[in-house]
Amino acid sequence: MVVDEARIQHYQNTKVMSDINLGQHLEAINDKATKQMDYSKIGRTVKTALLKAQAESRVIVGLSAAIQVLSKSPEGSLFCLMAVPQIGDSATHMHEVLLEAFCYENDIYVIKVDCPTKLSRILGKTEVESCCLVQKTWTGAADEDNEEQLNKQEAMLVDYCEAFWDAPQHPIVDLPVV
């Protein structure tokens, strides 16, 4: 009987310890996932990435300009930022839908933003623009094998886009007020 009681006590202690370890392990996984997936400040990241790319002359502003650049060399674009379409402008909406499909077809990340006015203000434009492209940065000279280079904000945006790539509905990023 003493052996059975000892065995039962050992089992109970082991079970309690494994429950504690499992609980700690699950908490650690949840903390890691939360840290990796904390996109509450993604609007500020978008703004910072846009301003940096604009300072480096890598931003194409406007629907027509974006379509023209993409028709010539889609492989040079990293992001397409698109504002939520205005109600009643069906012609622009059709162009934006086609542009979005083209971007997905050519592995260009699409980031939907909440307001064309905020997007335009971040870019320093007086006219309201509904979209812009951010061009890639390349390492090396033109005649060498170039590699795509991402800054910290662009890498965060790539992670954000990858997290929602297969989602049926992509989240809309709230840009900070400028």
- What pLDDT was estimated at residue 178? 78
Tally of domains in the chain:
2
**Residues 93 and 124 both lie in one domain:** yes
CATH of the domain at 136: 3.30.1330.30
Q: Is residue 101 part of a domain?
A: yes
Domain containing 14 equals 1-36
**Residues 2 and 69 both lie in one domain:** no
- What pLDDT was estimated at residue 144? 63
Question: Would you call 16 helix, strand, or coil by DSSP?
Answer: helix
Tell me the pTM: 0.74
CB-CB neighbours of 67 under 10 Å: 18
**Residues 13 and 54 both lie in one domain:** no
**Residues 78 and 1 both lie in one domain:** no
Q: Is residue 178 part of a domain?
A: no
Q: How confident is the model over 125-134, as a mean pLDDT?
A: 94
Mean per-residue pLDDT over the chain, rounded: 82
| Chain Cα centroid distance, residue 86 | 22
